[in-house]
Structure 1
Amino acid sequence: MSDMTDRKTKSVEEYEAPLPWHLGVYDAHCHPTDTVASLEKIATMKTKALTIMATRDQDQSLVAQFANALGQAKPEDPGRFLIPAFGWHPWFSHQIWDDRGTTGSPTAEGPHGKESHYRSVLTPVPDEADFLSSLPEPRPLSALLQDIRAHLEHYQTALIGEVGLDRAFRIPGTELLDEEYEKDPASTPGGREGRRLSRYRVDMNHQRSILLAQLNLAGELQRPVSVHGVAAHGTVYETLASTWRGHERSVVSRRQKKDARPNHPLSGEDEEFPSSKVSVFAVTRSTPYPPRICLHSYSGTAGTLKQYLHPSVPVDFYFSFSSLVNFSSRSDKAVEVVKSVPDDKILVESDLHAAGDAMDELIEKIVRTVCRIKGWSLDHGVTQLGANWKHFIFG
């Protein structure tokens, strides 16, 4: 029986069989630090590893605490474990003051004051005194990068995330959606917390500056990155591509290879993304671009995959999918994208705010969805997705 025949499902019943958790199921992107009390539930989860994302000031240390509670992960670790990720989400990028090449402080009076900072990075320019005063004191970018560096140096398998760009997001205002709203004491501060969204967005140029600084740090320390992108697919690609411009891989055509090696003719049809066309030079030193990037809950089209997977791109790209974002409703586009992603570049995630049974259920749901779309048996799919996650995390 061929491998292709073996991996294909022969009946609907096979997809309804119990998920083979024992083979190792991995969550590529989640946020259990949003509900700290859920930490104790991780020990009883079926998911083998959680890749937990930091997003803002209030959860950077919480991610570290979660990682400390279960120990630092290693590729050969047989038990459950966490992979910590440290970074600043675009929803909170306005809270960062880009102090590179400037003098003064946004906490000072005058042109470098807090209000001046927010007027320069929010659009439209805010003029509401109550709104401006409700915003936190901005942090200097240099201090943020120093903190992320310290975490990455301490946790040798940590990555940078969640970072990215978001053209649609609006900053929460000061008014509550419901006057009777009561904050959940178990939730981590700094989120929306029942507030109405304001009309203000973070300027895209500012978002790009914060993202690029974190991408460059990932390249310097050779760590993978989990990237968020909403309503900005073209800008996300251009921003990422700017980090490797001038560092592209050499692309050797089949004919050039054939001419150079007449005794070793190449056979077979061209693949859409053939690795055999690339002259690969292993990167072992710092670069301005990360070695591996996951586009989390990827919502682009199947056509846009080609630019990320072009053989000249020196970054190893992965694409993760979640039931919450990609399959919250029937999506023919998402189905076509999953079909188009190379088998060894697809990941699954829960993107959930709390650990426990609900996170396991979301991971199981997306694993089954991907297996159906790909035509994989559950055993093959779980094994493939696990291998992909390990390659993304550990290289």
Structure 2
Amino acid sequence: MQSEKPTASEPFPWEIGVFDAHCHPTDTMSSIDDIKAMKAATLTVMATREQDQELVSQVALQFKGSNQSSEQDSDACNDRVIPCFGWHPWFSHQIFDDTKHDEPRDGEYLASMKIEHYKNVLAPLIDDEDLLHELPVPCSLVDLVSRTRARLQKHPYALVGEIGLDKTFRIPKAWSSAGSDGNENTASSDSSITPGTRNGRALSPYRVKMDHQRAVIKVQLRLAGELQRPVSLHSVQAHGAIIEVLQELWAGYEKKVISNRQRKRGSSVPRAHEGEDVSPTHSNEGSDSDKIETKPKPFPPRICMHSYSGPVDPLNQFFHPKVPADVYFSFSAVINFPDGANAKSSNVISALPEDRILVESDIHCAGQRMDDLLEQIVRQVCDIRGWSLERGTQILADNWKRFVFG
């Protein structure tokens, strides 16, 4: 079959609709008004920490119903911004796990436990007094889930994200002790950036223990399951750990693989990509195996592995016939193709089912550069898959709609 690969000079079909599956424009609030002039149809905007949760909510309300630039389905949401609420693993140390207590821990208790908390969740044992002093009083995980639930209920199309696991990151040094070049007393805060980010600081030697990161992500995944919301997942050198967490949550809800003989005898539940049909192992009442389950599950219905940087091999675990959630993989120019080419990411894109691929910018400023990066990654994906720009853009748009809305 002749390849449909696009040429570099081929006009880009913005009119079809290009959807950014993962971005952070609320980190630079001065850029938010630039969304109005963007060619991208919709931005899926992530919250990551205490300082940006309400900002994401406000921006979503500001652009509610404002998407007139693409051929939207008549029954689909036409909001220009889809908000996502979650705590990124880079900020998970700021959360106190009180989920095993009878009630949320109040501010006075959390303040009294601050030093002990950070010594418990950071490794190696923290002995930097300046950093300990500067770190915020941790927040209650129970209270965080309650506030996130309220925001998700306020925004019926909102996702849970950005959440995840990260084995490599280290928390930044104190502002008072080191700047971006590691020299004493050179750090300064950029007032144009929403507070809470690293913002140029050098990194400390301290990491958040994986058992704490797991506790934080699990409660957020369960919340997504409770409200049946999709999730955007961050994973850095933690793809195995992510699979383990997901398998733990969907244990007992796995799809039952139906043999060819059984399929011939009666109807079955189709599942994409597998060549086999599957049916749920659970039903609401436990008495009718053909009944579609409506009871909330402890895991999200759809998952996006954002800017996926892993190899091809783990895809088999995400697409196993028994997996009861739909898993998508998104790609960005800044992470996956920083130098214009990346054999590992190209191999993954080639191996994926075409209806599980998404694109994203993953940058912190709305406007022309976000559009440029989206066009770049769409062209890259189309080139790898041998799609024409028109066909590929349509496939990616349909994938995003199905990921977000089901």
Could you list the per-position Cα deviations for residues 94-136 of structure 1 after superposition, in whole angstroms to 9, with x for gaps in the alignment?
0000112237958557996100000010011102211111100
Residue 325 (structure 1) aligns with: 335
C-alpha distance in 2 between matches for 1:209 and 1:109: 20
* Cα distance in 1, alignment partners of residues 54 and 46 from structure 2: 11
Partner of 1:81: 80
SS in 2 for 1:66: helix
Q: Does structure 2 conserve the Cα–Cα contact (< 8 Å) formed by 1:107 and 1:113?
A: no
Q: Which of 248, 254, 277 pairs up with 1:248?
A: 254
Tell me, in whole angstroms, the C-alpha distance in 1 between the residues paired with 2:305 and 2:232.
6
Aligned-partner residue type, residue 26 of structure 2: T
Show the counterpart of 1:20: 13
1:213–1:110 Cα change, 3 Å: closer
What residue identity is the alignment partner of 1:60?
Q
Query: What is the alpha-carbon distance in structure 2 between the residues aligned to residue 111 and residue 391 of structure 1?
Result: 44
What's 2:285 paired with? none
Is 1:311 aligned with 2:321? yes
Residue 315 of structure 1: how far off its partner (Å) = 0.4
Instruction: Report SS of the residue matched to 2:192.
Output: coil
Out of 29-38 and 298-307, give the one that drifted further: 298-307
Aligned to 1:177: 180
CA contact (8 A) 2:187 2:201 kept: no
The answer to whether the 8 Å contact 1:97/1:106 transfers is no
Query: Mean alpha-carbon deviation: is it higher for 98-107 or for 32-41?
Result: 98-107
What is the SS of the residue equivalent to 2:335?
coil
Gaps of 5+ in 1: 265-270
Match of 1:102 in 2: 101
Q: CA deviation at 1:78?
A: 8.3
Secondary structure, counterpart of 1:119 in structure 2: helix
Q: Give the aligned residue type for 1:229.
A: S
- Letter of the structure 2 residue corresponding to residue 326 of structure 1: N
1:231 to 229, 232, 237: 237
Q: Partner of 1:320: helix, strand, or coil? A: strand
CA shift at 1:183, angstroms? 2.5
The range that moved more, 106-115 or 284-293, is 106-115
Q: Which position in structure 2 is the counterpart of 1:63? A: 56
The reply to whether residue 389 of structure 1 matches residue 388 of structure 2 is no
**Aligned residue among 342, 348, 373 for 1:337:** 348
What is the CA–CA distance in structure 2 between the aligned matches of 1:107 and 1:225, rounded to whole Å?
Answer: 29
Give the partner amino acid of 1:191.
T
Distance 1:106 1:143, change over 3 A: closer
The residue correspondences of 1:139-158 to structure 2 (distance < 5 A) are: 139-158=139-158
Q: How far apart in 2 are the matches of 1:378 and 1:16?
A: 11
Q: Name 2:288's counterpart in structure 1.
A: none
Cα 1:110–1:291 change in 2 (3 A) is closer
1:163 alignment counterpart: 163
TM-score, with structure 2 as normaliser: 0.88
Paired residue type of 1:381: G
Counterpart contact for 1:106–1:117, Cα < 8 Å: no
- Kindly provide the amino acid, as one letter, of the partner of residue 237 in structure 2: A
Mean alpha-carbon deviation: is it higher for 180-189 or for 79-88? 180-189
Amino acid corresponding to residue 395 of structure 2 in structure 1: Q
1:31 aligned to 2:24? yes
User: What residue number does 1:207 align with?
Assistant: 213
Secondary structure class of the residue paired with 1:196: coil
| Offset at residue 79 of structure 1 (A) | 5.7
- Please give the alpha-carbon distance, in whole angstroms, between the structure 1 residues aligned to 2:211 and 2:51: 24
Displacement after TM superposition at 1:285 (Å)? 2.8
> Is residue 346 from structure 1 mapped to residue 357 from structure 2 by the alignment?
yes
Shift of 1:50: 0.1
Once the two structures are superposed, residues 172-193 of structure 1 have per-residue CA deviations (whole angstroms, 9 ceiling, x without a partner) of 0121124555432211000002
**Secondary structure, counterpart of 1:197 in structure 2:** coil
Q: Equivalent residue of 2:43, what SS?
A: strand
Contact in 1 for aligned 2:179/2:187 (Cα 8 Å): yes
Q: Aligned with 2:329: secondary structure? A: strand
> What is the TM-score normalised by the length of structure 1?
0.90
Q: 1:374 to 1:59 in 2, by over 3 A?
A: same
Q: Which residue in the other structure is 1:193 paired with?
A: 199
Answer yes or no: is 1:296 the counterpart of 2:306: yes
Worse-matched range after superposition: 373-382 or 185-194: 185-194
Distance 1:70 1:302, change over 3 A: same
For the structure 1 residues 145 and 137, does the alpha-carbon distance in structure 2 shift closer, same or farther, using more than 3 Å as the test? same
Q: Displacement, 1:272?
A: 10
* Identical columns (%): 48
Which ranges of structure 2 fall in alignment gaps of 5 or more residues?
281-290
> Equivalents in 2 of 1:111, 1:58: separation in Å?
19
Aligned in 2, Cα 1:385/1:283: closer, same or farther, shift over 3 Å?
A: farther
Instruction: Please say if residues 20 and 43 of structure 2, whose CA atoms lie closer than 8 Å, have aligned partners that are also in contact.
Output: yes
Q: Secondary structure at the match of 2:211?
A: helix
Q: Is the contact between residue 110 and residue 139 of structure 2 (CA under 8 Å) also seen in structure 1?
A: no
**2:287 is matched with which residue?**
none
Label 1:65 to 1:243 Cα distance change in 2 as closer, same or farther (>3 A). same
- What SS does the aligned partner of 2:218 have? helix
Aligned equivalent of 1:268: none
Q: Aligned with 1:355: secondary structure?
A: coil
RMSD: 2.3
Q: 1:233: how far off?
A: 1.1
Q: 1:238 Cα shift?
A: 0.5
The 8 Å contact of residues 48 and 79 in structure 1, kept in 2 or not, is answered as no
- Cα contact 1:274–1:311 (8 A) shared by 2: yes
Provide the rounded CA distance (Å) in 2 between the counterparts of 1:284 and 1:105. Answer: 33
